[in-house]
Chain A
Amino acid sequence: GENVEQHPSTLSVQEGDSAVIKCTYSDSASNYFPWYKQELGKRPQLIIDIRSNVGEKKDQRIAVTLNKTAKHFSLHITETQPEDSAVYFCAALASGGGADGLTFGKGTHLIIQP
C-alpha cells in the first residue's frame, strides 16, 4: 500500500517569514495530493490540492509543488500570519484500481512566532 512521509514534525517560523513542509510518497499510481489544515479540536479542512498532471498550483499565499519523478510534494506558505498556526497534513490518493481512501502523513505542527 501507499506510504506517506512528512517532515518536519514541528516547524516554528517568525511572523511574515515563509514556511515549507515536505512530503514523499511511495506508490507511483498516486495521482491526487491534498493538503489539510487542522486546528485544535476541529476537523481537517482542505486548503489546497494538486493532481499528478500539474507541477505547481498557487492560491494566494499558499502554493504546492509536485515532483512525480522523485515522488515528493511540498506546501509553501508565504508571509505567514498568526492564524496560520495549526497542524498541517499532506495526503496521497491512488484513485481507481479498486482501492480508495487517502493515506496521510503524520502531520506538521506549524507555530507562527509573533
Chain B
Amino acid sequence: NAGVTQTPKFRVLKTGQSMTLLCAQDMNHEYMYWYRQDPGMGLRLIHYSVGEGTTAKGEVPDGYNVSRLKKQNFLLGLESAAPSQTSVYFCASRTSGSQETQYFGPGTRLLVL
C-alpha cells in the first residue's frame, strides 16, 4: 500500500513549455486534490475532483488544467509554463462522506526559468 504517490519529484522547465504532473493513490479514495505551496503562503487549492470523470476549480486555477480519467489518478497539466508557477505541488486524496482526513503525496518541486 503506497498511499499517495507523485511523479516526477523534481522538474525544470523553460517558460512556455508544457508538462503533466501525475498523482496516483491506491486507497480507493473518491476525492483528490492539487495544491501548490509557496514560501510564506501556506498551501492553496488549484483544482479538485470528487470522483472519476469530474473536476472543479479551487482558489488558484488559472494556468492549470486537470483530468480524472481513472479513479486512482489525478493529472495536473501546465500548457504554457510561467515563472510564477515555480512552486512545490502537493496532491492529496480522501474518501468520501464524513471522513474528511486528507492524505498528502510527497510533492513535486517545479522550477520554471
Residues of A within 8 A of B (CB): 1, 6, 9, 32, 34, 42-46, 49, 89, 93, 95, 99-107
Once the chains bind, are A43 and B44 in contact (CB under 8 Å)? no
Can you show 14 pairs from A to B with CB atoms below 8 A apart? A34-B102, A42-B106, A43-B104, A44-B43, A49-B100, A101-B58, A101-B59, A102-B33, A102-B45, A103-B45, A104-B43, A104-B44, A106-B41, A107-B40
Point out the residues of chain B lying under 8 angstroms from A49, CB to CB: 100-101
Task: Report if B19 contacts A (CB, 8 A).
Answer: no
Once the chains bind, are B100 and A89 in contact (CB under 8 Å)? no
Point out the residues of chain B lying under 8 angstroms from A104, CB to CB: 35, 42-44
Point out the residues of chain B lying under 8 angstroms from A43, CB to CB: 90, 104-107
Once the chains bind, are A1 and B31 in contact (CB under 8 Å)? no
Once the chains bind, are A89 and B43 in contact (CB under 8 Å)? yes
Once the chains bind, are A102 and B43 in contact (CB under 8 Å)? yes
Point out the residues of chain B lying under 8 angstroms from A46, CB to CB: 101-103
Task: Report if B74 contacts A (CB, 8 A).
Answer: no
Task: Report if B75 contacts A (CB, 8 A).
Answer: no
Of B42, B43, B107, which is in contact with the most chain A CB atoms at under 10 Å from its CB?
B42
Chain B 1-23 near chain A by CB (<8 Å), digits 1 or 0 = 00000000000000000000000
Cβ of A14 to closest chain B Cβ, rounded Å: 26
Point out the residues of chain B lying under 8 angstroms from A32, CB to CB: 100
Chain B 81-113 near chain A by CB (<8 Å), digits 1 or 0 = 000000000100000000011111111000000
Pick from A34, A99, A101, A103: contact of B101, CB below 8 A.
Answer: A34
Pick from A1, A42, A45: contact of B59, CB below 8 A.
Answer: A1
Point out the residues of chain A lying under 8 angstroms from B43, CB to CB: 44, 89, 102, 104
Point out the residues of chain A lying under 8 angstroms from B103, CB to CB: 46
Point out the residues of chain A lying under 8 angstroms from B45, CB to CB: 101-103
Pick from A89, A100, A101: contact of B42, CB below 8 A.
Answer: A89
Point out the residues of chain B lying under 8 angstroms from A89, CB to CB: 42-43
Once the chains bind, are B105 and A100 in contact (CB under 8 Å)? no
